[in-house]
């Protein structure tokens, strides 16, 4: 089996060195493993040169068989995990931002302590990850979902706040309507902000002298009095509560956007996924039932 795994890694990476690094072994170990595999099969699988490694025609046919065998083995392992009552194996989760850091990570850390046979991988990324292609078990996503091949479970809701410091507002023009934002320094990456009035959504163009796609940095900038920021509740509500930031235009808020735990439908009965979602929902409802993140 080690020979098959090494063979596929080399074929995918095109390099003995890259395959060795990916598998956490030495290049000499990989070379010896492949030599033994070729000896057992009685054929050469690779054409080696100083510059690159290429598959032989036999190697190309063998690669497809090996890939299918590894996929079948992976599926069999998942079926066993699905039948287990205790989380074990690997759980890969993709998430982003302070919501992931402050409210999801503690649940995952607790699971890692309680289930030592469970190996958890957290990937913090702001991009939309393809769960199936990149082999993630769960993604934390916000707002409207379109992919019908995914199973979504609501875990919380979020509201965005338009905020500024008292220092900024004391020296700035009046702000009573979203249209008044044209007279203000609106900081952030978006060129327009959305609002809701009489049940209808609308967008207002905004401009400012500081563009940034990191909410934590925008929070800090707003606290210094640089301008008006639009922030998720996770970044804003503590400062609003303590009076460091003022919430603006609340009558025009878009309202709640749901936060989801999303997983491929084929993982519906996976015990690792089920326990993770259960623990996250319990943590958020017990400790933050009234918080709009």
Give the separation between CA 192 and CA 287, rounded to whole angstroms: 34
Residues 33 and 99 in one domain: no
The β-bridge relationship of strands 160-164 and 192-197 is: unpaired
Token pair listed for 261: 């735990």
Report how far residue 161's alpha carbon sits from residue 222's, in angstroms, rounded to the nearest whole number.
Answer: 12
For residue 283, tell me if it sits in a domain: yes
In a domain, 293, yes or no: no
**At 84, is the pLDDT very low, low, confident or very high (cuts 50, 70, 90)?**
low
> pLDDT class for 187, splitting at 50, 70, 90?
very high
* Residues 215 and 282 occupy one common structural domain: no
Residue range 124-172, pLDDT digits in tens? 987 888 888 888 999 999 877 776 678 899 999 888 999 999 999 999 9
Q: What is the pLDDT of residue 148?
A: 64
> Treating both helix axes as pointing N-terminal to C-terminal, what angle do 27-41 and 16-23 enclose, rounded to 10 degrees?
110
H/E element holding 89? strand 89-95
pLDDT-derived band at 74 (thresholds 50, 70, 90) equals confident
The answer on 101 and 72 residing in a single domain is: no
- Contact (CB, 8 A) for 227 and 188: no
Q: What is the CATH number of the domain that holds 76?
A: 1.10.10.10
Confidence (pLDDT) at 16 = 87
| Structural domain includes residue 79 | yes
| Average pLDDT estimate for 226-253 | 94
Same-domain pairing of 278 and 141: yes
**Same domain, yes or no, for 145 and 166?**
no
Q: Give the whole-number percent of the chain exceeding pLDDT 90.
A: 46
Range of the domain at 171: 160-252
> How much is the pLDDT for 79?
67
Reported as a single tens digit per residue, the pLDDT across 8-26 is 888 888 888 888 888 878 8
Based on the fold, state whether residues 6 and 130 are members of the same structural domain. no
| 240-270 residue pLDDT tens | 999 999 999 999 998 888 899 999 887 777 8
Q: Is residue 292 part of a domain?
A: no
Q: Nearest CA to 292 among 243, 235, 248?
A: 235
Over residues 29-61, the pLDDT tens digits come to 888 888 888 888 888 988 877 677 888 888 888
Tokens for 145, please give them.
């979902």
Q: CB-based burial of residue 184 (10 Å sphere; 0-12 exposed, 13-18 middle, 19+ buried)? A: buried
Handedness of CA 69, 71, 75, 81 (dihedral sign): positive
Q: Are residues 171 and 247 in the same domain?
A: yes
Of 40, 63, 83, the domain-final residue: 83
Q: Are 261 and 152 in contact, with CB atoms under 8 Å apart?
A: yes
pLDDT of residue 85: 76
**Structurally, how many domains does the chain consist of?**
3
Euclidean distance between the first and final Cα of the chain, in Å?
47
| pLDDT, position 52 | 76
**Nearest-CA neighbor of 214 among 195, 232, 196?**
232
Residue 121 in any domain: the answer is yes
Q: Measuring CA to CA, which residue among 251, 272, 282 is closest to residue 89?
A: 272
126 and 178 inside one domain: no
Beta pairing, strands 89-95 & 118-124: parallel
CATH number at residue 184: 3.40.190.10
């Amino acid at each position: 089996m080690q020979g098959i795994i090494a063979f596929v890694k080399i074929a995918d990476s095109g390099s003995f060195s890259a395959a060795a690094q990916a598998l956490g072994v030495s290049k000499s170990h990989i070379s010896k493993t492949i030599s033994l595999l070729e000896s057992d099969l009685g054929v050469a699988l690779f054409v080696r040169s100083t510059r690159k490694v290429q598959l032989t025609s036999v190697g190309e046919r063998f690669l497809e068989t090996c890939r299918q065998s590894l996929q079948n083995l992976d599926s069999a392992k998942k079926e066993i995990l699905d039948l287990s009552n205790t989380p074990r194996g690997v759980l890969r989760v993709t998430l982003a931002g302070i919501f992931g850091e402050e409210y999801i990570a503690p649940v995952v850390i607790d699971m890692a302590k309680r289930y030592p046979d469970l190996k958890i991988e957290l990937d913090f990324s702001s991009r939309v990850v393809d769960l199936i292609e990149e082999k993630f078990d769960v993604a934390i996503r916000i707002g409207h979902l379109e992919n019908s091949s995914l199973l979504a479970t609501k875990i919380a809701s979020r509201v965005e706040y338009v905020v500024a410091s008292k220092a900024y507002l004391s020296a700035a023009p009046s702000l009573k309507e979203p249209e008044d934002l044209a007279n203000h320094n609106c900081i952030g990456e978006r060129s327009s902000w959305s609002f809701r009035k009489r049940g209808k959504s609308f967008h207002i163009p905004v401009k400012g002298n500081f563009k940034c796609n990191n909410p934590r940095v925008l929070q800090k900038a707003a606290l210094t009095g640089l301008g008006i920021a639009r922030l998720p509740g996770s970044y804003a509500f503590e400062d609003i509560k303590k009076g460091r930031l003022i919430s603006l235009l609340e009558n025009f808020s878009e309202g709640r956007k749901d936060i989801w735990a999303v997983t491929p439908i084929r993982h519906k009965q996976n015990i690792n996924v089920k326990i993770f979602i259960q623990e996250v929902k319990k943590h958020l409802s017990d400790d933050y039932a009234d918080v709009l993140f």
